[in-house]
Amino acid sequence: MKPLHLIPDDVNVPFLKFRKIFYIVSLVMVLASVGMFFTKGLNFGIDFRGGILVEIKTDGPADINALRDNLGSLGLGDVSIQEFGEPDDVLIQLQRQDGEEEAQMAALAAVTEALGDDVTIRRSELVGPKVGGELKEAGFYSVVISLFLIMVYIWVRFEWQFAIASVAALLHDVLITVGFFVVTGIQFDLATLAAVLTVAGYSINDTVVVFDRIREYLRKFRKMEIPDLLDLSINSTLARTTMTSLTTLLALIALFVFGGEAIRGFTMALIFGIVIGTYSSICVASPLLVVLRLKRKIPEAEEGQEAGA
């Protein structure tokens, strides 16, 4: 049996020729994401906002309206009630209550009492305002710190142009993934934050593979024009880039479809992020090297640096 070569061996797409189009597409997506982030904002889950979440299972299909009337009459502010995967599975969310931690406690007690013994409480979560604020802060720092550390690592291993270009691609992916959350309104909680950071790791992984090849070709093809060399590098790694993205996506799609409702938002973010990360490593990161005026170094210096790396 002849193995399938998904990407033809002699693939030669002139990616650099289209780089202006990619820049425009990416810029529009990034600006739109940032703009909507500040206008519409993320749909923060209780992890970051503070509040209460209760997942219940009812005998037979749940009567959402009756639940809404029942819990709405408690005077606890906005109560969001939605079906969660199955008709007899319901997710109830309450906004953060005015007042401190005790107020949240009292509200949770009121909700469980109002639900009575007819339903099974599958899960209940309560996050006080203090912890919510702290998680938001820690989440923000963890994104910033990992971006910084990755940039430092790339800087040590490559020229500065590579570091800037890879972090630009990384920011591109993170911002657009966040934009995806804004547009879809998928709840942004601790798990989805983990997904965003994984996207960051994956995106840089993809970019590094192409950059490694560029570095290799810079030494191998001394006379080639930089744009042609970049095209050649992207094309020779194209099979790997698509293969890895596909295997990862296959695993994630299985998780998305069968992994249960609780991690659906998380897997969706990963799937979207991996598609964007693949696009950016091919169409954004490498072409950016031209903009950053990547040059060949004097061969001796190059060798010395390689030995030290």
Partner 1 sequence: MLYFTKLKAALVLLVCALGVIYAAPNFLPSGTFPTESSYLPGKQINLGLDLRGGSHMLLEVDTDTVLRERYDALADAIRTELRQEKIRNRPRESSASGAEITVLSPEDVEKAREIARTAEPNTELGGEGNNITVTYNEIAYRELIDRAIAQSLEVVRRRVDELGTTEPSIQRQGENRIVVQVPGLDDPSRLRAILGRTAKMNFHLVNNEKTAAEARATGLPPGTMILPAADASDQAAGIREYLIDRRIVVSGDNLVDSQPTFSDGRPVVSFRFDAAGGARFGDVTSKNAGRGLAIVLDGEVISAPRINEPILGGNGIITGQFSVQEANDLSLLLRAGALPAPMQILEERSVGPGLGQDSVEAGEFAAVLGLVFVIAFMIISYGRFGVYADIALMMNLILVLAVMSVLQATLTLPGIAGIVLTVGMAVDANVLIFERIREERRNGRSIINAIDAGYRSAMSTILDANITTLIAALVLFSFGSGPIKGFAVTLAIGIITSMFSAIWLTRLLIATWVKRSRPTELVI
Binding to partner 1 (CB under 8 A) within 98-127 occurs at 100-102, 105, 108-109, 112, 120-127
Token pair of 241, please?
A: 């880039």
Closest by Cα among 48, 29, 44, 38 to 80 = 44
Q: What string marks each residue from 72 to 101 as x (binds partner 1 by CB under 8 A) or -?
A: ----------------------------xx
Query: Which residues in the 143-162 window bind partner 1 by CB under 8 A?
Result: 145-146, 149-150, 153-154, 157
Q: What string marks each residue from 211 to 230 as x (binds partner 1 by CB under 8 A) or -?
A: -xx--x--------------
Query: Which residues in the 12-51 window bind partner 1 by CB under 8 A?
Result: none
Query: Which of 190, 224, 232, 275 contacts partner 1 by CB under 8 A?
Result: 190
Query: Which residues in the 237-276 window bind partner 1 by CB under 8 A?
Result: 237, 239-240, 243-244, 246-255, 257-260, 262-263, 266-267, 270
Tell me if 162 sits within 8 A of 95, measured CB to CB.
no
Our CA dihedral for 70, 75, 76, 77, rounded to 10 degrees, sits at 100
Report helix, strand or coil for 86. strand
Tell me if 104 sits within 8 A of 126, measured CB to CB.
yes
**Contacts of 40 by beta carbon, 8 Å cutoff, 6+ apart:** 182
285 binds partner 1 (CB under 8 A): no
Alpha-carbon gap, residue 81 to 92, rounded angstroms? 5
Part in contact with partner 1 (CB under 8 A); list of ranges 13-21, 23-31, 58-66, 138-146: 138-146
Query: Which of 194, 224, 275, 292 contacts partner 1 by CB under 8 A?
Result: 194
Q: Please state, as a whole number, how many other Cβ atoms lie within 10 Å of the Cβ of residue 19.
A: 19
Residue with structure tokens 């799937």?
271
DSSP state of 186: -
Least distance CB 127 / partner 1 (angstroms): 5
Least distance CB 205 / partner 1 (angstroms): 4
Nearer to partner 1, 26 or 89 (CB): 89
